[in-house]
């Protein structure tokens, strides 16, 4: 075959150029929750690299590592009857309902030492799949594919599962040390799979931040408005989120009236001094006070401000973060 024909054979077919991959972070380039460069123990329901959730049946005592080539490996640590898989959920109820009654094809590069490493798809029930849906277990990379048609109306979860699993997610016999390794996961409309669609990391990150966003320090003297012993501020989110997020903080709060700022703490600047917080510390501002576009932060300090409306600023150290979670 000539070079021109080889090139043509690897091009997406008509109508499938650009932004055709429904999977977000299919090549595991974004990992806001952590690096996972060393083996990390997993529990059922853990979110790992962005948009990917670990689920299991039984207790396979799995661990995950993000390899230098970009792939992710999940390894079991116990011999059980069960399953160990990575799952990504899709927003099936968006208007227009773009997933109802259509044919899609999943493709992924998978390496495994078990023939139970496979693809499953759920849309109100596990769907019938055609293609090479399971690995041979030979320990080398193979391209798995799965073509399916969704129900005319998807009424519950629509999700993709890749891992050690039975067909239609039936439990299988798992031996300690079995693994699956995956990269270049793609789901696209139609009955053919095309080469993996690479995109800039900035594009993938923006897509991920609809579901999870980590706002990292340092944040120095972020302006606040004050009342009594409370200073409050709105911190913009980097992207409009799917729903109002739940918010957690990484870091500590300064604990006395003139605490020096550090890379690990939150503090409040007012009246030419850094003020520590009381036991209430730095708090997410309560139900409904944030939106899909910003987080409201309340900081409670030991000493009352001289008057309401005094100039103040929130400090967040370099090792601190605000974590906004709107995952499915």
pLDDT of residue 297: 82
pLDDT over 80 (residue 268): no
- The terminus-to-terminus CA distance of the chain in angstroms comes to 46
pLDDT of residue 80: 98
Question: And the tokens for 326?
Answer: 């709107």
pLDDT of residue 10: 44
Percent of the chain clearing pLDDT 70 (strictly above): 84
pLDDT of residue 315: 81
Q: Tell me which of 193 and 96 has the higher pLDDT.
A: 193
pLDDT of residue 262: 84
What does the pLDDT look like over 149-173, one tens digit per residue?
Answer: 999 999 999 999 999 999 999 999 9
Rounded average pLDDT over 219-235: 78
Question: And the tokens for 26?
Answer: 């299919």
pLDDT over 60 (residue 16): no
pLDDT of residue 295: 86
pLDDT of residue 298: 77
pLDDT of residue 132: 98
Per-position DSSP letters for 46-64, written without gaps between them: -B-STT-EEEEES----EE
pLDDT of residue 14: 43
pLDDT over 80 (residue 271): no
Angle at 118 between CA 158 and CA 38, to 5 degrees: 95
Q: How many CA atoms lie within 13 A of 278 on its CB side?
A: 10
Q: How confident is the model at residue 112 (pLDDT cuts 50, 70, 90)?
A: very high
Check if the beta carbon of residue 25 is closer than 8 Å to that of residue 199.
no
pLDDT of residue 38: 97
pLDDT of residue 252: 81
Q: Mean of the per-residue pLDDT values for the chain?
A: 88
Rounded CA gap, 68 and 40, in Å? 15
Percent of the chain clearing pLDDT 90 (strictly above): 65
Angle at 211 between CA 292 and CA 264, to 5 degrees: 85
Q: How confident is the model at residue 235 (pLDDT cuts 50, 70, 90)?
A: confident
Rounded average pLDDT over 115-126: 97
pLDDT of residue 219: 84
pLDDT over 50 (residue 234): yes
Q: How confident is the model at residue 108 (pLDDT cuts 50, 70, 90)?
A: very high
Rounded CA gap, 149 and 171, in Å? 24
pLDDT of residue 71: 98
pLDDT of residue 279: 52
Distances (CA, A) of 112 to 43, 49, 133, 328: 21, 20, 13, 28
Distances (CA, A) of 141 to 99, 117, 135, 180: 29, 12, 9, 10
CA nearest to 105, candidates 93, 91, 119: 119
Strand partners for 158:
90, 123
pLDDT of residue 165: 97
pLDDT over 60 (residue 4): no
pLDDT of residue 95: 84
- For CATH 2.60.120.260, list the domain ranges present in the chain: 3-208
Return all residues near 249 (Cβ < 8 A) that are at least 6 apart. Answer: 266, 282, 284, 320, 321, 322, 323
What does the pLDDT look like over 26-77, one tens digit per residue?
Answer: 999 999 999 999 999 999 999 999 999 999 999 999 999 999 999 999 999 9
pLDDT of residue 276: 64
- 3-208: what fold? Jelly Rolls (2.60.120)
CA nearest to 66, candidates 56, 57, 79, 75: 75
pTM for the whole structure: 0.90
CA nearest to 121, candidates 138, 112, 109, 108: 108
Nearest-10 Cα torsion for 166, 171, 177, 183: 40
């Amino acid at each position: 075959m000539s070079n021109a024909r080889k090139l043509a054979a690897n091009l997406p077919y008509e109508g499938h150029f650009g932004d055709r991959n429904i999977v977000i972070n299919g090549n595991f380039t974004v990992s806001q929750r952590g690096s996972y460069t060393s083996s990390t123990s997993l529990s059922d329901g853990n979110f790992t690299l962005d948009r990917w959730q670990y689920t299991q049946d039984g207790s396979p005592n799995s661990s995950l590592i993000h390899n230098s080539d970009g792939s992710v490996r999940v390894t079991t640590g116990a011999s059980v009857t069960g399953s160990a898989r990575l799952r990504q959920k899709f927003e099936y109820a968006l208007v227009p309902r773009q997933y109802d009654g259509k044919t899609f094809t999943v493709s992924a590069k998978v390496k495994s030492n078990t023939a139970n490493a496979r693809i499953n798809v759920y849309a109100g029930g596990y769907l019938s799949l055609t293609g090479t849906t399971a690995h041979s277990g030979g320990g080398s990379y193979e391209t798995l594919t799965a073509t399916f048609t969704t129900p005319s109306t998807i009424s519950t979860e629509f999700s993709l599962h890749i891992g050690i699993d039975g067909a239609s997610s039936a439990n299988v016999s798992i031996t300690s040390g079995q693994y699956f390794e995956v990269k270049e996961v793609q789901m696209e409309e139609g009955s053919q799979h095309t080469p993996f669609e690479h995109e800039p990391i900035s594009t993938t990150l923006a897509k991920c931040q609809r579901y999870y966003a980590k706002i990292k320090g340092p944040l120095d003297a972020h302006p606040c408005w004050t009342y009594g012993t409370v200073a409050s501020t709105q911190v913009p989110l980097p992207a409009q989120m799917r729903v109002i997020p739940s918010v957690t903080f990484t870091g500590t709060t300064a604990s006395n009236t003139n605490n020096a700022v550090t890379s690990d703490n939150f503090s409040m600047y007012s009246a030419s001094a850094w003020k520590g917080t009381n036991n209430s510390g730095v708090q997410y501002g309560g139900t409904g006070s944030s939106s899909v576009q910003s987080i409201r932060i309340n900081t409670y300090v030991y000493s009352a401000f001289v008057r309401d409306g005094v100039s103040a600023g929130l400090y967040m150290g370099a090792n601190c973060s605000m974590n906004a979670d709107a995952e499915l």
